[in-house]
Amino acid sequence: MNTRQAHELAPYFVYDAHGEPICMVYPVGKTPDTGPLQGIFLPDFEATHKRAEWIADSLRKNEGAKP
pLDDT tens for 7-65 read: 887 889 999 888 899 999 999 999 999 999 999 999 999 999 999 999 999 988 887 76
Instruction: Give the per-residue pLDDT at 34.
Output: 93
Tell me if residue 14 falls in helix, strand or coil.
strand
Distance in angstroms (rounded) separating the CA atoms of residues 58 and 60: 5
Measure CA of the first residue to CA of the last residue in the chain; give whole Å: 17
Q: What's the confidence (pLDDT) of residue 67?
A: 61
The yes-or-no verdict on residue 66 having pLDDT over 70 is no
Whether 61 contacts 8, CB under 8 Å: no
**pLDDT for the residue 56:** 92
